[in-house]
């Protein structure tokens, strides 16, 4: 997806380096990466992303580097294991992939896409599948065939408490495409350097949460382990449309918490103790467990081991 590689594209273009963008625009069957998956290669030699989960990325890299060296941009067709003999082992995802390999757009478009990715409304990026492979934002028409990708706003993850778990959790959440807002009324905790790259607000959560316009795709994790902060934060979160509300603490602590909150509407929406059963105890392991539950809920999954389930590996 464009979102996955665009920070790399913007940084390389901002440094004055040429970049070639490879995008999976069609696929004949199942595969490890969704249509729209992207890989970007810089003239510096660095690259980021994947169009196949690894099985044909090497071939795509070679084409992209050829385009950097002056070869014509084009759509290439490739399949995992296509060069193996019938008796040789190979990957099971042998779909035919169509990958558009062309230079990244001009700097003005790079800036516009970067701004769209940080926006709060969906934006369509339309790319021509015919030379010169122009890219435009919005519904503006392009001649010939096009590949359209809708850039939805990043779902919001609110962390109540700028704790050590929040410090570990925020970069993980950013990596999976979440915008992070950290809320803590304690000045010693609500310091931006504790959670770099996140928006930090020194305020009571019941003052902030109602103003964020939380929707089904958004989540709230309450981390302070301090009842005078946690309890009003949970009451405020229950008054929003957030799709997931989790709170840190033991089972005994959560039972006491529910007793204090008795009568509040929607108590069944609270996941406590929050997280999947990973057995970890460090701040990073707890953060991973809590974020894993957020991801599972967002995709309508239960968080079981894949080896113990029979459904598709990836959510639709």
> Higher model confidence: residue 287 or residue 87?
287
Q: What is the pLDDT of residue 121?
A: 85
Alpha-carbon distance 195 to 167, whole Å? 5
Q: What is the model's pTM?
A: 0.84
Q: What is the CATH number of the domain that holds 184?
A: 3.40.50.720
Contacts of 130 (CB under 8 A, 6+ apart): 143, 144, 145
Say if residues 79 and 67 touch (Cβ distance below 8 Å). Answer: no
278 and 160 assigned to the same domain: yes
108 and 178 assigned to the same domain: no
CA torsion 181-184-185-191 (nearest 10°) is -90
- For residue 2, give the H/E element and its range: helix 2-14
Please provide the size of the chain in residues: 316
Residue 31 lies in a domain: yes
Residue 145 lies in a domain: no
pLDDT bracket for residue 89 (50, 70, 90): very low
Domain count, the chain: 2
Q: Indicate the average pLDDT of the chain.
A: 90
Domain that holds residue 202: 156-298
pLDDT bracket for residue 87 (50, 70, 90): very low
Query: Which range among 49-53, 65-69, 242-246, 305-309 shows the weakest confidence by mean pLDDT?
Result: 305-309
Q: What is the pLDDT of residue 316?
A: 61
Residue 126 lies in a domain: no
pLDDT bracket for residue 80 (50, 70, 90): low
What are the pLDDT digits (tens) for 156-204? 999 999 999 999 999 999 999 999 999 999 999 999 999 998 999 999 9
- Residue 154: count other Cβ atoms within 10 Å of its Cβ: 20
Q: What is the pLDDT of residue 81?
A: 55
């Amino acid at each position: 997806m464009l979102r996955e590689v665009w920070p790399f594209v913007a940084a390389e273009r901002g440094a004055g380096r040429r970049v070639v963008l490879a995008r999976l625009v069609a696929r004949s069957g199942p595969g490890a990466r969704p249509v729209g998956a992207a890989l970007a290669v810089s003239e510096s030699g660095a690259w980021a992303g994947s169009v196949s989960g690894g099985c044909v990325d090497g071939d795509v890299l070679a084409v992209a580097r050829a385009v950097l060296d002056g070869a014509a941009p084009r759509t290439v067709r490739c399949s995992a294991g296509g060069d193996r003999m019938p008796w040789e082992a190979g990957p099971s995802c042998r779909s035919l992939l169509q990958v558009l390999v062309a230079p990244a757009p001009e700097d003005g478009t790079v800036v516009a896409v970067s701004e769209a990715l940080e926006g709060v409304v969906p934006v369509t990026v339309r790319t021509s599948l015919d030379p010169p492979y122009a890219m435009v934002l919005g519904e503006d028409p392009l001649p010939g065939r096009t590949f359209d990708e809708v850039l939805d706003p990043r779902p919001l993850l609110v962390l109540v408490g700028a704790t050590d778990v929040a410090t570990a959790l925020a970069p993980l959440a950013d990596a999976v495409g979440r915008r992070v807002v950290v809320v803590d009324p304690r000045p010693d905790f609500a310091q931006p350097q504790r959670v770099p790259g996140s928006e930090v607000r020194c305020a009571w959560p019941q003052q902030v949460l109602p103003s964020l316009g939380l929707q089904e795709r958004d989540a709230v994790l309450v981390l302070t382990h301090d009842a005078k902060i946690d309890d009003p934060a949970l009451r405020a979160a229950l008054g929003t449309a957030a799709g997931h509300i989790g709170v840190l603490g033991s089972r005994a602590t959560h039972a006491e918490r529910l007793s204090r909150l008795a009568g509040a509407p929607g108590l069944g929406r609270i996941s406590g103790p929050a997280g999947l059963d990973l057995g970890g105890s460090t701040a990073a392991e707890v953060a991973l467990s809590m974020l894993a539950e957020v991801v599972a809920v967002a995709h309508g999954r239960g968080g079981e081991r894949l080896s113990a389930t029979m459904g598709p590996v990836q959510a639709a």
